[in-house]
A and B are shown apart, each in its own frame.
Chain A
Amino acid sequence: MLNRREFVKSIGAMAASATALGAFATAQAQARGGAHVVVVGGGYGGATAAKYLRMWSNGAVRVTLVERERSFVSCPISNLVVAGVRQLDDITLSYDNLRSKWGVEIVTGEVVAIDVARRQMQLADGTTLNYDRAVLSPGIDFLPELIEGLAGNEELLPHAWKAGPQTALLRRQLEAMEPGGVFAIHIPGVPYRCPPGPYERACVAAHYLKTHKPGSKLILLDTNPDIQSKKGLFMTAFNELYSDVIEYRPSSTLRRVDAQARRLELEFDTLEADVVNVIPPMRAGRIVDQLGVPLVNDRWVDVEWLSLEVKGAPNVHVLGDALFPAPAMPKSGHMANQHAKVAAAAILNLLAGREPNPTPVVMNTCYSFVDDGSAMHVASVHQYDVEKQTFLAVEGSGGVSTAASHLEGQYALVWAKNVWADMLA
C-alpha cells in the first residue's frame, strides 16, 4: 500500500488526465471516510447536482438528496398542460434512477433548520443530517402578502408557477370557463422565475381559447413596462396569431384582489375576470433564511461564482432560481442545471483540497411555445470574468429564433426529454 504522500507523488508523476485526478479525489474522500454532501431540493438544480456529484466522483462522495415532494414535476412544458396539449403525467418523473443507478440517498422530507457552523441540518420530522458540504436549490417562494387580498387564496386565484396540483387546477378552471369569458394573467415585476414563461402561457392559453372557447379574451397584466424576453417574437405572436384574443397591458401593477369576485384592482383601473392567474412576486426559497446571511434586496442569495458557495456561509452552495443572478443570467431550469455542474465540479475540487475550476462556462436556452406545436428560443453563453468575478454573456453569441417554427417545437420537446434525463436518468 502507498501512504498518502507517496500516492500523491505517484499521481503527480502520472499524466494529469481527468481519470487520474478523479481517482485522486476519490482516494482523498475515502481517506476521510467518504465526504458527505447533502442536497436540498430535487428540482432542476438539486437533482442535477446530486447526479453529477455521484457520477464525477465515481461514487466516492456520499450524496443525500432531501426533497419534500415524492416525484418531480417539471415547470418547463407545464404551460402545455395548462393549454390541454399535454397531461400532468407527461411532466411528472420519478427519483428512482437517482437512487438505483446513481446511489443517491433520497429522503422525502422538508429541511427546516440549518446550522452553518456545525454543518448540520434538521428535518421537519426531527431527523438530523450532518454534511461536509451542503447544496441548496430550493427554487422560489411567493410573497402574496405584497398584493392585498391575495394571501391564502391560491385556490381561487391559482399561480401555477410551481408545477403540480396548481397546474392541474388552472387547467380545470380554464376548461370550466364559458366561451366568451375573460381569462386574466398577472405578471410580477422582474426578477421572477422564467422571464418568457408568462408570455408563453398567454400564447398557448390563447390558442386553447381560440380553438375551444370562441369569443373569449385573455388580458395579460404586466407589472413591467414591456415584454421581458423574446419581445419581438412575442409581439408578432400577439399581433398575428391572437389579435382577437390577447390584450397586453404593460405597467399594470396589481394593488388589490377580491378573490371571491375575481376582481383585480390596478393603479388606475379595476377589472373582473372569469379565471384569474396571479403570478405573485417571489423570492428565494425560504430555507435560505437559515443561513443567517443578508439577502440581496431581501430576496436573493449572493454567491461566489466560481464555486456557488454562499458569501458568509462557508460550505453551503446555493443554485438556481434562489440566486441573485449574474448580469443577463435568467432564472431558468436550463441555467439551474448549469449552476449545478459548476457547483459539483467545485465541490469535488474543494473536497480534494484543490481550488475550483478558474474558468467555468454556463449557457442558457429557453424555448417558448406560441401554440400547440410551434416554438422559438432565446439562448446565451456566459463565461467567467476574472476581473469582475462574475459570469458575463459573451458578446456576439446567443440570440433568439428568427421566427417560431414547428421544427423548434420539436426541439423544445427534445430539450425537455434530454434535460430531464440529464438530471434524473
Chain B
Amino acid sequence: MKTTMAAAILCLLGAAGIAQAQDPDLARNLAATCANCHGTNGHSAGGMDSLAGEAPDRMMRKLMEFRSGERPATIMHQIAKGYTEDQLRLIAEFFAKQ
C-alpha cells in the first residue's frame, strides 16, 4: 500500500517533471519528422498533400482515423500509431501555423 502510494506520487511528480521540462520547440521538432514526405514545414514539394495551414481539428480527425484504421491508407495508419495523441496534437497545431 505504502509503496503503491509512493509509486503513484513518484509517477505524478515524474509526469509533472516531464511536463515542466518539455522543450519549447517540441512541436516544431515533432512536425519535422513528417517533412521527409510532406515537405519542409508541411509545404509539399509536389505529389504529396501539404500539411501547412490545415485547421488543427481537421488534421487531428484525419490522424485519429488513420490510427483507428477508418481512413484508407498505404502507410499513414502505421506512422500515426507511433506517436501519442498529445504529440499528434502538437504536430497538428504547428502545421496549422505554417
Contact present for A379 and B75 (CB under 8 Å): yes
> Is B39 positioned at the interface, with any CB of A under 8 Å from its CB?
yes
Which residues of the other chain, A, contact B74 by a CB distance below 8 angstroms?
377, 401, 405, 407-408, 411
Q: Is the CB of A338 within 8 A of B44?
A: no
Question: Scoring B residues 19 to 45 as 1 if CB is less than 8 Å from chain A, else 0, what string do you get?
Answer: 001111111111011011111100011
Partner of B82, one of A18, A377, A381: A381
Question: A341-B33, A361-B30, A399-B78 known; A21 and B87 CB under 8 Å?
Answer: no
Q: Is A290 an interface residue (CB 8 A)?
A: no
Residues from 35 to 87 in B contacting A, C-beta threshold 8 Å: 35-40, 44-48, 74-75, 78-79, 81-83, 87
B46 touches A338 (CB 8 A): no
Smallest CB separation, B21 vs chain A (Å): 5
Whether A242 sits at the interface, judged by CB under 8 Å, is no
B82 touching A394 by the CB < 8 A rule?
yes
* B83 near A361: Cβ-Cβ < 8 Å: yes
Q: Compute how far the CA of A21 lies from the CA of B82 in the bound complex, rounded to whole angstroms.
A: 28
Residues of B contacting A419 with CB < 8 Å?
36-37
Known contacts A18-B27, A394-B81, A417-B45; A377/B32 CB under 8 A: no
Chain A residues with Cβ below 8 Å from B5 are none
B78 touching A414, Cβ below 8 Å: no
- Inside 8 A of B82's CB, which chain A residues have their CB? 361, 363, 380-383, 394, 397-398
In the complex, what residues of A have CB within 8 A of residue B83's CB?
361, 381, 394
Nearest CB on A from B28, distance (A): 5
From the candidates B24, B29, B37, B81, name the one contacting A414 in the complex (CB within 8 A).
B37
Residues of A within 8 A of B24 (CB): 16-18, 21
A343 to B56, CA, bound (A): 27
Determine whether the beta carbon of A417 is less than 8 Å from that of B78. no
Most buried by A among B22, B32, B33, B39: B32
Contacts of A21 in B (CB 8 A): 24-25
Binary CB contact string for chain A from 396 to 425 against chain B (1 if under 8 A, 0 otherwise): 111101000101101101110111111001
Are A359 and B22 in contact, with the CB atoms below 8 A? yes
Given A377-B74, A379-B79, A417-B46, A358 and B23 contact (CB-CB distance below 8 Å)? yes
Q: Which residues on the B side are within 8 Å of A71 (C-beta)?
A: none
Asked whether, in the complex, the Cβ of A418 is within 8 Å of the Cβ of B30, the reply is: no
Instruction: Report if A108 contacts B (CB, 8 A).
Output: no
A401: nearest residue on chain B (CB-CB)? Answer: B74
Known: A359-B18, A425-B45. A397 touches B26 (CB 8 A): no
- The answer to whether B78 and A397 touch across the interface, beta carbons within 8 angstroms, is yes
Q: Is the CB of A357 within 8 A of B40?
A: no
Report A-chain residues with C-beta under 8 Å of the C-beta of B81.
381, 394, 396-398
A357-B29, A379-B75 known; A414 vs B36 contact (CB < 8 Å): no
Which of B32, B35, B39, B75 is within 8 Å of A365, CB to CB? Answer: B75
* A334, CB-defined interface residue at 8 Å: yes
CB distance from A371 to the nearest CB of B (A): 17
The answer to whether B47 touches A410 (Cβ under 8 A) is yes
Check if B28 sits within 8 Å of A414, measured CB to CB: no
Minimum Cβ distance to chain A for residue B19 (Å): 11
Q: A66 CB to closest chain B CB, in angstroms?
A: 23
Contacts A363-B82, A365-B75; A414 near B35 (Cβ below 8 A): no
Q: Which of chain B's residues have a CB closer than 8 A to the CB of A407? A: 74
Task: Find chain A residues with CB under 8 A from B26 CB.
Answer: 357, 359
B87 to chain A, nearest CB (A): 7
Q: B87 near A418 (CB under 8 angstroms)?
A: no
Whether A345 contacts B29 in the complex (CB less than 8 A), given A359-B23, A401-B74, A407-B74, comes out as yes
The residue on B at minimum CB distance from A399 is B78
- Interchain CB contact under 8 A, A18 and B25: yes
Which one of A359, A360, A381, A422 lies within 8 Å of B35 (CB-CB)? A422
Q: B residues within 8 A CB of A338?
A: 33, 36
**In the complex, what residues of B have CB within 8 A of residue A410's CB?**
47
Q: Are A397 and B47 in contact (CB under 8 A)?
A: no
A56 at the interface (CB under 8 A from B): yes
Q: Are B40 and A422 in contact (CB under 8 A)?
A: yes
Q: How far is the CA of A37 from the CA of B47 in the complex (A)?
A: 33
A52 interface residue per 8 A CB criterion: yes
Would you give 13 A-B contacts (Cβ < 8 Å), ordered by A?
Answer: A338-B33, A341-B33, A342-B29, A358-B21, A365-B37, A381-B81, A394-B82, A401-B74, A411-B37, A415-B37, A417-B47, A418-B36, A421-B39
User: Which chain B residues have a beta carbon within 8 Å of chain A's beta carbons?
Assistant: 18, 21-30, 32-33, 35-40, 44-48, 74-75, 78-79, 81-83, 87
- The list of the 10 closest CB pairs from A to B, nearest first, reads A381-B82, A397-B82, A414-B47, A421-B45, A357-B23, A397-B81, A394-B82, A21-B24, A341-B32, A419-B36
